[in-house]
Amino acid sequence: MIKLSNVEKSYDDAVVLKNCSMAMERGEFAFITGPSGAGKSTLLKLLYCSEQVDNGHISVDEWILSKLKKRTVPYFRRNIGVVFQDFKLLFNKTVFENVALSLRIHRMDPREIMERVKLILKEVKLLHKSDVFPQYLSGGEQQRVVIARAMVSQPMLLLADEPTGNLDTDNARTIMRLFREINTKGTTVLIATHNEDLYYGSGRRVFFLNNNHIEKEIVG
Ligand SMILES: Nc1ncnc2c1ncn2[C@@H]1O[C@H](COP(=O)(O)OP(=O)(O)OP(=O)(O)O)[C@@H](O)[C@H]1O
Ligand SMILES: [Mg+2]
Q: Which residues neighbour ligand 2 (ion) by CB within 5 Å? A: 40-41
Residues 180 and 75 in one domain: yes
Does some domain include residue 85? no
* CA–CA gap between residue 177 and residue 171 (Å, rounded): 10
- Measured in Å, residue 94 CA sits from the centre of ligand 1 at 32
Q: Containing domain of residue 143, as a range?
A: 90-154
Report, as ranges of residue numbers, the positions in the chain whose pLDDT lies below 70. Answer: none
CATH number at residue 204: 3.40.50.300
- Measured in Å, residue 23 CA sits from the centre of ligand 2 at 20
> Where does a domain end: 121, 139, 154?
154
Residues 181 and 207 in one domain: yes
Residues 97 and 184 in one domain: no
Does some domain include residue 132? yes
Residues 162 and 61 in one domain: yes
pLDDT on residue 109: 96
How many Å from the N-terminal Cα to the C-terminal Cα in the chain? 21
| Strands annotated E in 77-204 | 80-83, 157-161, 188-192
Residues 11 and 70 in one domain: yes
Residue 44 CA: nearest ligand 1 atom is: 18
pLDDT on residue 89: 96
**What's this model's pTM, rounded to 2 decimal places?**
0.95
* CA–CA gap between residue 220 and residue 198 (Å, rounded): 9
Residue 45 CA: nearest ligand 1 atom is: 18
Number of domains in the chain: 2
Does some domain include residue 22? yes
* CA–CA gap between residue 211 and residue 220 (Å, rounded): 21
Residue 209 CA: nearest ligand 1 atom is: 21
Q: Ligand 1 pocket by C-beta < 6 Å: which residues?
A: 11, 14, 16, 34, 36-42, 194
Residues 159 and 135 in one domain: no
pLDDT on residue 77: 94
Nearest CA to ligand 1 atom 29: 37
> Where does a domain end: 134, 154, 174?
154
Residues 147 and 170 in one domain: no
Residue 12 CA: nearest ligand 1 atom is: 4
Residues 108 and 20 in one domain: no
Does some domain include residue 84? no
Nearest CA to ligand 1 atom 30: 37
* CA–CA gap between residue 30 and residue 40 (Å, rounded): 13
pLDDT digits (tens, 9 = 90+) for 56-103: 999 999 999 999 999 999 999 999 999 998 888 999 999 999 999 999
> Where does a domain end: 109, 131, 154?
154
Residues 70 and 169 in one domain: yes
Task: Give the DSSP H or E segment for 111.
Answer: helix 110-123
pLDDT on residue 87: 82
Residues 170 and 137 in one domain: no
